[in-house]
Structure 1
Amino acid sequence: MPYEPGATWQYDVPTTGSTHLPPDAGYGRALTNQGYGFEVAVADLIDNSIDAKADKIVVHFLRDAGRILTLLVIDNGNGMDEEGLDAAMTVGHRRDYGESALGMYGTGLKAASLSHASSLTVASRTRRSRAAGRRLTAEGIADSFRCDTVDPRYAQDLVDRYDGIIEWQGTIVRWDGVRAFETVARGQSDQFLSKAIARLEAHLGLYLHRYLQRGLKLDIAVWDVGSGEQGLGEEVDHIAVEALDPFGYKVPGKAGYPRDFTAPVEGLGDLRLTAHIWQAKSKQAGFRQVGSLTERQGFYFYRNDRLVQAGGWNGWRNPEGHLVLARVAVDLPSHENSVLSLDVKKERVTVTPAFTDGLDKATDSRGRHFRNYLADAETVYRDGSRRNEIVRKPVTPPGKGLDPKVKRVIKEELPEKPGEDPITFTWGALPSGQFFRLDRERNAVILNRTYRDDFNDGKRGGANDAPVTKTLLYLLLEDCFGLGRWERSRQDRLDYWNTILLSSVEALRTRRAQPLS
């Protein structure tokens, strides 16, 4: 309808034409400041791997001489040819996503990567195409969105290096110039990696727990390039990420739970809410190791089985201490809607009043209201608070060198001392009369590598080998760290422990040398 001058109001704004306005190079610089946390950014890369049908993924840190060099994410997914790589590296390109895809906006690879690294390289191959690669840099984007073509020989070499993962097809995403790595002082890389990997393991274990429970193999590894090891050797620090299920209790806090409620949401239809109540004072990893209990109460939104929000009441009510046992699983509709929307970083859901109105009307199959569930959760919490409980003494957390499964159980059973660097375990050269030595400045236990084969049945051990021996030493030696004054009696205790342990090794060797009767 043509515009009539003098009209006071109309619903449609009249136009007389259009023009195409390409993005200014300044938009590229905005990609480096999207507010992605490190763990969130890595998880975004892994989403792409899952969308590519990968069932084996490795997050690989490279280091050398006390420096952390770069980070790679390797997968055995479908891979990309030259055309696919160009599309993936195009800023603003949005491909057609299937209903089950984890990707949504087409910006995650670029924004997540350039928020942390000055250079993003992707090398890939498919079953029908040779290895190829592309590179984006912060400077290149500012220069009219320039994308560099990687030398195909290097792309092939990179793919070959990870042939234990990429057998026929797959993709490698590489970050260089990672800003967090460049701030780590020499000699501090061990501590930085230990904490960074622990946070990353917990985040990926939580947000991808449904995929991990279905068999996705997701590892975190560290390779010292100065050691001469190629790819992922046995000596590489290696962690298999395990599912951290926020609803993984063995017994619910109250009989009859979990319980499904249905919320009638205008503009969306009926939305299912699966309400859970944890046991009071549970020590299980899925309850304790997913962050602050107060922040983790509330709604857990999933999109295509990928957790996208872990806790929070989304304005329906405020978090309260007596509701820390209440967690509600909600699967978002696969189709886009105006009621529940997900942010670009895939870590928060925005709701409209239609959602909160629906919560007030939600009922279960017997007509009980959703607010009754909150009352049940509060009752379980208050009843548990009245029970007398033995308070266990906090410990210095276990770190690198101890099997991740053991570390998880220790964290479930014992509270941690805040601010303490983890205790690491390594094998080193020690005098023949010494089984172990403490390096209290580095919070490390050094075991005599002369005896390493004795605890690995003669096999080559990995970074997390001899779990029983290391666990027993952790329990014995944990209180020797974080002290001020070193007492003579404590040193005497270490001396006779060393002597007794050495005799146990000799006894083991003697038994193995005896012929079978």
Structure 2
Amino acid sequence: MEFEVMPPGPQLMESMRAVGYSLKTAIADVVDNSITATATAIDIRFSAEPGNTFVSISDNGTGMDAAGVRHAMKLAGRNSTSARNAGDLGRFGLGLKTASLSQCRVLTLISKQDGVLVGVQWNLDHLAESGQWQLYVLSDDDLLGLSHTRYLDDKASGTVVLWEEIDVSDPDHARFTEDFTAKMADAKEHLALIYHRFLEGEDGQKISISLNLERIEPADPFLRNNRATQSGHKELIRVDGGEITFRPYTLPFINKMSAKERAQAQLNGPLRDNQGFYIYRAKRLVIWGTWFRLVSRSELGKLARVQVDIPNTLDHLWALDIKKSAASPPPAIRQALRQVIDRIIQPSERAFRHKGVIDDSRQSVMRTWLGLSSREGFYYQINREHPLLENLAEQLDSEQRLALDTALKAIESSFPVTDAYVKLTGDQPQKPPETTETALKDLATEYWRQWSAGGGSAEDFINGFKAAEQFSRCRDIHALLTEVTELGVMQ
């Protein structure tokens, strides 16, 4: 048997452009390299002007020497199974090349180490014309002629990745500048999310990332700064010599979120589509908003999110892809998560089922609307035993009671269930009822006027309304109702 060396043709580079990177995921892959190089400041700049379109990503990391930049531009320059430092965000040794060349036709890498500046360049058009794997090595004059080298002037070490001849959008299109700028704005939001733990300075390792000199603020998907967010206990799963930790969070109701928090929590869609596991690899978010088919998404579970931390030593188990944008848990982890997933979702479900009830130690709440079921489905009916309705009915004759019942049935038949469902699933905030002491007191006063007009006693009024749903948020409804009746008597 004989063996013959069959090196790939340079057109392989063109084929690799179709891996599936978007502009934002491509930029993130380059930022990964900066973080791995222990950079604390990452500066992203771009121009969307036709004929002068570029993206540059510079950092103050450790930098590389001449051999280092050549190795960095080599396809699969590192084995994916090689041991890595705990903070290494790399995987296959392909990210810099595949990510960059998926967006541009000219990739330039400039680096500085020990005061020495070096640079190399891949040019896809040159590869096609020459038919050979020819990496262009930049001379000192070439480097001086590149304006982007100035980003390293004030740094002891660092690296610049420069994309030119960007062709992800048609540069001749009339809306090119607007479209490309919009994509960069989308990239900014993406970076704010996936690197939020680095931007927050978790464990004291704070990193600054800026886009066209504007600092990117972290976007925490768990809204941990909101006092209404519920945090569960951190739990540990050991598998194949590694440790995976997870911590569940229950987001606040959308009414308790600011407009900024609402946008932050909705990510790329409604809350319902963003529930589930948030997988972090070395603190970098790689995939989010999925239950891995362990359980179905539900409206009651839409506030449930779980932070899952995996070390890069378990990449082989999670089937992490080249773009680091997809991962699938191994059977052992799936089984462990399946055992606790119900417990993880329960706080979100309880929050919806018991929304608005503060003191469950009181007697059962007297609901205004009753949810009922039949063979045909569910429906809602006004509670005819509500003390307000019972008192009103006692003041009416039989014909008036019939008219009242007819009016109530008309209201019940037009209950806007579908409209309410559409609004709630679309995360539209519900206008909350007034729950201040003054508002509840005014409401109780109106009820007392009607009650007393029919000859009802103060004692019956207090006993009848202390369990009414309208006052379920009041911590001492007995005292409030007593005060209302006493004031009414004095008046």
Q: Is 1:259 matched up with 2:233? A: yes
Per-residue deviation at 1:350?
Answer: 1.5
Task: Describe the SS at the equivalent of 2:312.
Answer: coil
Aligned to 1:322: 300
Partners of 2:35 and 2:320 lie apart in 1 by: 19
Aligned to 2:20: 35
CA contact 2:304–2:347 (8 Å) conserved in 1: no
CA contact 2:249–2:305 (8 Å) conserved in 1: yes
Per-residue deviation at 1:288?
Answer: 3.0
Matching residue within 186, 189, 204 for 1:199: 186
Matching residue within 24, 27, 46 for 1:61: 46
Aligned to 1:250: 225
CA contact 2:169–2:180 (8 Å) conserved in 1: no
Matching residue within 70, 78, 87 for 1:100: 87
Per-residue deviation at 1:54?
Answer: 1.4
> What do the CA deviations read for 1:7-65 (whole angstroms, capped 9, x no partner)?
xxxxxxxxx7866543343432221111001100000011111111211111111244x
AA at the equivalent of 1:356: R
**Pair 244,291 (structure 1): closer, same or farther in 2 beyond 3 Å:** farther
Aligned to 2:350: 379
Task: Describe the SS at the equivalent of 1:349.
Answer: coil
Per-residue deviation at 1:68?
Answer: 5.3
- What percent identity do the matched residue pairs reach? 25
Partners of 2:252 and 2:335 lie apart in 1 by: 29
Per-residue deviation at 1:263?
Answer: 4.6
Partners of 1:156 and 1:382 lie apart in 2 by: 66
Partners of 1:165 and 1:304 lie apart in 2 by: 31
Name stretches of at least 5 consecutive residues in structure 1 with no aligned partner. 1-15, 222-237, 363-369, 388-411, 416-517
Aligned to 1:51: 36
Q: Is 1:299 matched up with 2:277? A: yes
> What do the CA deviations read for 1:253-300 (whole angstroms, capped 9, x no partner)?
575x322344565x4676422000001113414313454423321111
**TM-score when scaled to structure 2?**
0.64
Decide which structure has the larger Cα Rg and report it: 2
Partners of 1:144 and 1:386 lie apart in 2 by: 72
User: Greater CA deviation, 245-254 or 69-78?
Assistant: 245-254
Task: Describe the SS at the equivalent of 2:76.
Answer: coil
CA contact 1:69–1:181 (8 Å) conserved in 2: no
> What do the CA deviations read for 1:157-190 (whole angstroms, capped 9, x no partner)?
537753477522221111112113434634652x
Aligned to 1:218: 209
Partners of 2:191 and 2:172 lie apart in 1 by: 23
Q: Is 1:276 matched up with 2:237? A: no
Please provide the CA RMSD for this pair: 3.1
Partners of 2:77 and 2:251 lie apart in 1 by: 43
User: Greater CA deviation, 288-297 or 329-338?
Assistant: 288-297
Matching residue within 61, 67, 85 for 2:69: 85
**Pair 252,141 (structure 1): closer, same or farther in 2 beyond 3 Å:** farther
1:496-515 to structure 2, matched below 5 A, reads none
Partners of 1:128 and 1:161 lie apart in 2 by: 13
AA at the equivalent of 2:114: R
Partners of 2:175 and 2:313 lie apart in 1 by: 50
Partners of 1:88 and 1:338 lie apart in 2 by: 22
Matching residue within 124, 139, 146 for 1:158: 146
Task: Describe the SS at the equivalent of 1:339.
Answer: helix
> What do the CA deviations read for 1:228-260 (whole angstroms, capped 9, x no partner)?
xxxxxxxxxx421111111233346575x3223
CA contact 2:266–2:274 (8 Å) conserved in 1: no
Name stretches of at least 5 consecutive residues in structure 2 with no aligned partner. 359-426, 431-491
Structure number with the higher helix fraction is 2
